[in-house]
Structure 1
Amino acid sequence: MYRQLSDPSVTCAAPGAAHGSGTPSSDCALCAVRGRAICAALSPQEMGALDQATTASSYAPGSTLVRAGDARQHVYTLTSGALRMVRTLADGRRQITGFVLPGDYVGLTETAHHRHDIEAIVDSRVCRTPMAQMRQLRDRYPHLERKLLQRASMELAAAQDTGLLLARLQPSERLAHFLLRLAARSTQPGASGDTVALPMSRGDIADHLGLTMETVSRTFTKLRQQQLIALPQLHLVQILDYPALRGLAGDTV
């Protein structure tokens, strides 16, 4: 999952800084990602009900929100920063199954326990709503339920795409797909020159795409030399040639 990182209203700090533990309440009406999060389906009056049930917390880079096996008690909506969803394989290797970006939510499924560790990549702020209150809101406001179903369908499609990436595509094709998906969630792509933030490390990207970090670095260099992308900073990528990048990704985007 990749979403809303190049919006100027959304902060995405570089890795390394630290945050405090959080504050006891949220302010949904002033939230920078309100128009893109699941609460966008609510009216101002309905938003008040959500606000009363929600608390906001901040997480420093590398800190863990939940661990695999923890009871699923809350729905988490990311308002700034970036998170990674991590699964540790039997042999100790790490697999990143997805990235949570501003406006995304996690935790709203019917399973009793979390299947992944959820970790902050950069300084991140999260709104936390108890599962019981979220169920009440879903029952009370059918349009919120429709919004949640729409987002669940998008997540399923993203998971299926990731399976395809790991099974069939070459490294350059995987990275092209990843960058195009990230750009699609952060802007309305189509014109060359879109700049997209990359809060995750090259190692994170490698563990998501099923590659080594060295292969990811070489592939970034290859795409840059082909003038498909530019790398103005470590955590920024500029897409210079959308048609060529789409051609490389094939029919996976």
Structure 2
Amino acid sequence: MGRRLSICNSIDDCDLAILANESSRMTVADGRSFIEEGAPAHDFFVVTGGRVKLFTLLPDGRRQITGFAEGGDFLGLAASTSYAFGAEALGGATLCRFPHAGMQRLTERFPSLEHRLREEASRELALMQARMTLLGRKTARERVATFLMERCSHLERTDPSQPIELDLPMPRTDIADYLGLTIETVSRILSAFKKEKLISIRSITHITLLMPERISTIAEGME
């Protein structure tokens, strides 16, 4: 899975050692930051295991959750001179760190890699636009449904109608912050989804989407 989702799939197996020489592996403990908002953007990162919380700092010192990243996601690829967000491990995470200078050498050697990076930079910008729509246009019910469907995006699914098991390591307060809602509203909507038999809740960190197609319909504002 890691190879399929990462930049490695743009490089032949026999050349992976060259890629490894230009990168370094990192293990980040739960709650530890590894990207500081406003710091010089000398590197970008690929999440290879675990999950990451993304945030920006408000003028009064509070943090606004702007997203969650997991296996295969790129962080900081669209940055120019400084990082526009901070990043912190959720329950521990492993990453590959690529210095921009080293990546420049790799793209010169492997033209297909440059195309892959452009795709990921475009995806990063598209996610930012999607978040603006999430906060500006969607109802609370649609926002929670969108969050649940976002968490499915990394999973391999052969039948979209089958139940989907989700592991949610982030606390409800982070989910509420990300969605621009109160924790009470998030809990109320999840309870309503459970009552409608759209989901089952085994624990605070584990939810099963029993009817993912309908949840997707709600997320898209079609219900």
Which residue in 1 is equivalent to 2:151? Answer: 182
Looking at structure 1, the residues matched to 218 and 163 of structure 2 have their Cα atoms a distance apart, in angstroms, of 17
Give the aligned residue type for 2:209: I
Asked if structure 2 preserves the Cα contact closer than 8 Å seen for 1:75 and 1:134, the reply is no
Aligned pair count reads 221
2:163 aligns with one of 193, 202, 216: 193
Confirm whether residue 53 of structure 1 aligns to residue 22 of structure 2.
Answer: yes
Looking at structure 2, the residues matched to 163 and 126 of structure 1 have their Cα atoms a distance apart, in angstroms, of 27
What is the alpha-carbon root mean square deviation over aligned residues? 1.7
Looking at structure 1, the residues matched to 192 and 174 of structure 2 have their Cα atoms a distance apart, in angstroms, of 19
Confirm whether residue 234 of structure 1 aligns to residue 174 of structure 2.
Answer: no
Which residue in 2 is equivalent to 1:39? Answer: 8
Higher strand share: 2
Percent identity between matched residues is 32
Deviation at 1:251, TM superposition (A): 5.0
Asked if structure 2 preserves the Cα contact closer than 8 Å seen for 1:78 and 1:125, the reply is yes
Evaluate the alpha carbon distance shift between residue 169 and residue 110 of structure 1 in structure 2; reply closer, same or farther with a 3 A threshold: closer
Q: What's the secondary structure of 2:142's corresponding residue?
A: helix
Looking at structure 2, the residues matched to 251 and 146 of structure 1 have their Cα atoms a distance apart, in angstroms, of 33
Deviation at 1:80, TM superposition (A): 0.9
Which residue in 1 is equivalent to 2:219? Answer: 249
Any gaps of 5 or more consecutive residues in structure 1?
1-31
Q: What's the secondary structure of 1:78's corresponding residue?
A: strand
Looking at structure 1, the residues matched to 139 and 218 of structure 2 have their Cα atoms a distance apart, in angstroms, of 10
Deviations 1:168-212 (A, max 9, x none): 211111010111122133232612311122122211111111111
TM-score by length of 2: 0.92
Q: What's the secondary structure of 1:150's corresponding residue?
A: helix
Evaluate the alpha carbon distance shift between residue 110 and residue 95 of structure 1 in structure 2; reply closer, same or farther with a 3 A threshold: closer
Evaluate the alpha carbon distance shift between residue 122 and residue 33 of structure 1 in structure 2; reply closer, same or farther with a 3 A threshold: same
Any gaps of 5 or more consecutive residues in structure 2?
none
Asked if structure 1 preserves the Cα contact closer than 8 Å seen for 2:41 and 2:83, the reply is yes
Which residue in 1 is equivalent to 2:78? Answer: 109
Which residue in 1 is equivalent to 2:51? Answer: 82
Which residue in 1 is equivalent to 2:118? Answer: 149
Q: What's the secondary structure of 2:45's corresponding residue?
A: strand
Which residue in 1 is equivalent to 2:130? Answer: 161
Instruction: Identify the range of structure 1 (243-252 vs 224-233) with the bigger mean alpha-carbon deviation.
Output: 243-252
Confirm whether residue 218 of structure 1 aligns to residue 188 of structure 2.
Answer: yes
Deviation at 1:250, TM superposition (A): 2.5
